[in-house]
Chains A and B, each alone.
Chain A
Amino acid sequence: MADVKVKNLTKRFGKVIAVNKVSFDVKDKEFVVLLGPSGSGKTTTLRLIAGLERPDEGEIYIGGRLVNNIPPRERDVAMVFQNYALYPHMTVFDNLAFPLQVRKMPKKYIKAKVEEVAKLLKIEDLLDRRPSQLSGGQQQRVALGRALVREPKVFLMDEPLSNLDAKLRVYMRAELKRLQKELGITTIYVTHDQVEAMTMADRIVVFHKGKIQQIGTPSDLYKKPQNIFVAGFIGSPAMNFFDATLTYKDDFIVLDAGEFKLKLPKTFSSILRDKAGLEVVLGIRPEHIKIYKEPRASTVKCRVYVVEPLGGEMIINFSLGGKIYKARYPGEISLKPDETIYIEIPVKHIHIFNKKDGKAII
């Protein structure tokens, strides 16, 4: 078991900077997810830690040891690939045994260890099969087993669930998390799926354009996104954004979003003082928007665009000022397209970002 430290890591492919001065720590036994859209540098970062790519700048420490110039096989990390990368010409047994065989472990030990891991992953019956004779889920387990079998210091996973069907993915998500906690292996997990990240991670590192946007627990990222990118990326459906201007009125700070105005409580004034006239972006999560059929104080009139029922809850798409926004409504409400509704934006749940640099103000 070991911790992982990444310091000022930079990797260029030609003129493209894939990873730009990235630094983060992974504590011993921690489950850290590198989250970001495709091309954000998260997979490259993982490959740098694995040793499959060499960094142009920066340092990587595994268990306190600088590993920049150490080949992958001596880093004592194991990796699960998106397409599993099983050895197609070998049986499941040989696939699992391979990491031990190349390390010249005694045959007896290999057999015992492979059987132990196969039992853990419930693939004992598949040991004689070839990868082509397995289902996607079974291949995935074999890939996991191959990573587990030699008890590595660090587990690296590159979108291991993305090739599974939706139902199996949800099942394996929980299985993986449970396995990681049981075995206590430091894990770095790459995904573009924010639900996967939120449900599995102890901490999430959000990537965008090769740079780290924010590091924090799932709840941190959800409640206190540090910029518009993180705010929009975490949460499903995504946060609603309204362009607005900060104005003053009778000692109060008022957010003028054109279609509506929000009077902010005095507690905000210490932060927003001297910012009158600033162009900002107001963010509010769909689950925090309240919906009424009748007007009330401080509600805004809008029109239903379409309703997406999800059984226990509904996603209500409404149009306001020519744009479509989403609200999550717990329970059921009968609404038709083009019907008038009234929304309330509770001030305690709003986020305010500077429009210029996207950074969070509140």
Chain B
Amino acid sequence: MKINKVAILINVIAWAISFVWILPLMGILMASIRPYKEIVRGWWDFSEFNPSLTNIFNALYHPTAPLSKGIVNSLIVTIPATIMPIIIGALAAYAFARYSFTIKSYLFLTIVLLMAVPQQSIAIPLFQLMKKLGLLDSLIGLSIVHTAWGLPWIILFMKNFFATLPVEVEEAARIDGATDFQIFYKIVLPLSLPGIASVAALQFTWVWSDFFLALILIYSPDKLLATQRLPLMRGQYHVDWGVLSAASLIIIAVPIVLYLALQKYYIRGMVGWVVKG
């Protein structure tokens, strides 16, 4: 009986916290699917309730800052800025995890320390660098910056992940006749898919949600990313909360969908590959 009471209490607390957590999101959801005149009285007022997709449509095809174009631009930046650092970072992390070379520990320390650099402090030198490289106001340029910015933590994360893999499996492959590169992509990478899935989800979300780097480097109206278009949807005299909420919701939805897709995969991977000792 005592255990039951505790379980009930834990459940109540969990539900309460979840409720508080989800409340603002509910607000955004309600605001985005209901007309303006309904939500000015508060989204919790259900005296009138006419849900529609008008706000979402209006956000996607906004006259000054269409979100549909922004999403395309964001994907053009985010997809390569997720794939590239994973490829480069995984290779580097593998070298750090499995090979010994003279300056290894210093190099690794440098990479870890780089994670402590605040984005704001590099804004001006970054702008000048990208200008010199002719990559200013370029989606590819922003993608490269995100790749560089993501590498330190991806290297740290993947190195730690590789360290958990049994080294005998790689040694077995080495004796079986595999080259270093074959060992990496035939043995290490498939075994690391759960780790790569986590990295991909996090890196994608960060790049997708980034506002700061985009603000510095992208300024042509037709190249603006999704996050940059959100503030532009707010008129000077009139704020259409419905459209703003709808736009926010669309932007949030993309990483959530990715999380769900990868999470499924992640779990499947873990269940299938655990080897009994």
Q: List 7 other contacts, CB 8 Å, given A78-B176, A98-B186, A99-B177.
A: A73-B179, A85-B171, A88-B191, A88-B273, A98-B173, A98-B176, A139-B276
Any A CB within 8 A of the CB of B122: no
Residues in B182-208 with C-beta less than 8 Å from chain A: 182, 186-187, 190-191
Residues in B257-277 with C-beta less than 8 Å from chain A: 272-277
Contact sample, A vs B, 10 pairs, CB 8 Å cutoff: A77-B175, A78-B176, A85-B168, A86-B169, A86-B172, A99-B176, A102-B178, A132-B274, A146-B176, A163-B277
Any B CB within 8 A of the CB of A72: yes
Partner of A72, one of B166, B175, B182: B175
Partner of B171, one of A52, A88, A89, A132: A52
B residues at A contact (CB < 8 Å) = 166, 168-169, 171-179, 182, 186-187, 190-191, 272-277
User: A287-322 interface mask toward B, CB cutoff 8 Å, 1 = contact, 0 = none?
Assistant: 000000000000000000000000000000000000
Q: State the Cβ distance, B87 to closest chain A Cβ, in Å.
A: 19
Q: Name which residue of chain B comes closest to A86, CB basis.
A: B275
Any B CB within 8 A of the CB of A136: yes
Say whether A88 contacts B274, CB under 8 Å: yes
Give the complex CA separation of A52 and B179 in angstroms.
13
Give the complex CA separation of A71 and B175 in angstroms.
9
User: A222-262 interface mask toward B, CB cutoff 8 Å, 1 = contact, 0 = none?
Assistant: 00000000000000000000000000000000000000000
- Chain B contacts of A98 at CB under 8 A? 173, 176, 178, 186
User: A88-131 interface mask toward B, CB cutoff 8 Å, 1 = contact, 0 = none?
Assistant: 11000000001100110000000000000000000000000011
- Chain A contacts of B174 at CB under 8 A? 51-52, 71-73
Partner of B187, one of A87, A146, A163: A87
The SS class assigned to the B binding surface is helix
- Chain B contacts of A163 at CB under 8 A? 277
- Chain B contacts of A102 at CB under 8 A? 173, 176-179, 182, 186
Partner of B172, one of A81, A132, A139: A81
Residues in A126-175 with C-beta less than 8 Å from chain B: 130-132, 136, 139, 146, 150, 156, 163
Using A81-B171, A85-B169 as known contacts, say yes or no to A73 and B178 having CB atoms under 8 A apart: yes
Q: State the Cβ distance, A22 to closest chain B Cβ, in Å.
A: 21
Any B CB within 8 A of the CB of A83: yes
Using A52-B171, A87-B169 as known contacts, say yes or no to A150 and B177 having CB atoms under 8 A apart: yes
Say whether B175 contacts A52, CB under 8 Å: yes
Give the complex CA separation of A146 and B187 in angstroms.
15
- Chain B contacts of A77 at CB under 8 A? 175
Q: State the Cβ distance, A116 to closest chain B Cβ, in Å.
A: 18
Say whether A132 contacts B182, CB under 8 Å: no
Partner of B177, one of A73, A83, A87: A73
- Chain B contacts of A4 at CB under 8 A? none
Residues in A50-82 with C-beta less than 8 Å from chain B: 50-52, 71-73, 77-79, 81-82
